């Protein structure tokens, strides 16, 4: 059996949000992979690498003064 596989993972990207009338509209971040493979009867396969372990931190401070210890 020959397979053409094209998985796609999309997430909301608030770091690149667009502000319209006071509302933040997040962008969409998309990751894709594409491959072809051949499997014999009873074989299986797995795809890895589309995970995103992003850490986000939100900081609120007064510009210039917020950096003074």
Does the pTM exceed 0.75? no
Domain boundaries, the chain: 1-40
Backbone angles phi, psi at 56, to 5 degrees: -120, 140
User: Contact 57/50 with Cβ under 8 angstroms?
Assistant: no
What is residue 68's predicted lDDT score, i.e. its pLDDT?
Answer: 79
pLDDT digits (tens, 9 = 90+) for 27-41: 999 989 899 999 999
Give one DSSP letter per residue of 27-39, joined into a string: EEEEEE--EEEE-
The conformation of residue 9, written as its DSSP 8-state character, comes to: E
Count of beta carbons in the 10 Å neighbourhood of residue 27: 13
């Amino acid at each position: 059996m020959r397979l053409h596989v094209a998985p796609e993972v999309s997430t909301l990207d608030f770091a690149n949000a667009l502000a319209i009338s006071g509302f933040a509209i997040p962008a969409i971040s998309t990751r894709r992979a594409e491959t072809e493979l051949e499997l014999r009867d009873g074989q299986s396969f797995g795809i890895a690498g589309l995970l995103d372990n992003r850490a986000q931190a939100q900081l609120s401070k007064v510009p210039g003064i917020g950096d003074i210890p």
